[in-house]
Amino acid sequence: MLSADAKAGITKDYVGFDIGGSLVSGNASIKIPIPLTNAKLEIGGSGYIGGIGIKSELDMENKKIKVKAIAIVGAGAEMGLG
């Protein structure tokens, strides 16, 4: 599966940039309940093969921080509260 991304911006809910593409990508995440609250900690990861790119985002609307780096083979991570 070929994919490509490109975006950049600054709003009250989003600060960041994402540029890149890859031949194969996949991701997974888990949500861990935080005791004594209704919130959950979400931790995720992603992998990329055959691409190039970089990403750094602070997503206030979804309460997540996301980063990725690709140089032929790459990885990404995200963490947030839900």
pLDDT in tens, 23-48: 888 888 888 898 988 888 888 888 88
> Which tokens sit at 64?
């997540």
pTM of the model: 0.58
Average of per-residue pLDDT across 55-64: 80
Query: CA–CA separation, 40 vs 49, rounded Å?
Result: 30
Q: Is the pLDDT of residue 80 over 80?
A: no
Q: Is the pLDDT of residue 4 over 80?
A: no
Task: List the domain boundaries for the chain.
Answer: 3-81
SS3 content of the chain, % helix, strand, coil (to 5): 0, 80, 20
Confidence bin at 82 (pLDDT 50/70/90): low
3-state secondary structure of 82: coil
